[in-house]
Structures are given as structure tokens and as C-alpha cells.
Amino acid sequence: MDRGRHTRLSLMPTDFESVELLGGGEEDISLLEILDHVLNSGVVIHGSLVISLAGVDLVYLGLNVVLTSVETALRNLQAEEKRRLK
């Protein structure tokens, strides 16, 4: 398996030792994980409440669709930060 070399937004990290995110630098963590933890503190997402009524977590499917656009947004963010730090 391609250990530790997945991209920043890979959907499924392959090895527990490869996923580290504190301390700045390369953040190697999937968007799903970020949302899992950030939203775990009890926030009510209205949209997901409606579509999970049937017991299927469609947010996951939905996120697949938006992954690409978020990746682009993140890249812009990083570029922007680099410019600011110069």
C-alpha cells in the first residue's frame, strides 16, 4: 500500500501512522475527518437532518461531489497565505 503518500484531501488515509495534523506544515488529513471532528461538538446541520431521515448518511455522498471544489478552494487559500507571509 502507498503509505504516507496520499494527498492532502485523500478520502481514505491508508495507515494510521501517516495521519498527523497538529503543528502546522503539511496537513495530511481528509476533509471527511475534519468535518467529523469539527462538527462532532453537537452542531445541528439542518440539511443533513433532513436527508438522513431514512437512516442513510447521504452527506457522505454529497461530500464526494464537493471534494474537488473544496480542494481548489484550499489551494487558493494556501496560495493566498503564502502571499501574505511574504
Binding site for other proteins (CB under 8 A): 12-17, 19-24, 27, 29-43, 45-48, 54-63, 65-67, 69-70, 73-74, 77, 80-81, 84-85
DSSP SS3 for 77: helix
Q: Which is nearer to other proteins, 5 or 39 (CB)?
A: 39
Minimum separation from the CB atom of position 2 to other proteins (A): 14
Q: Which is nearer to other proteins, 5 or 21 (CB)?
A: 21
CA 12 distance to own-chain centroid: 10
The sign one gets for the Cα dihedral 9, 14, 33, 54 is positive
User: Cell triple for residue 50?
Assistant: 433532513
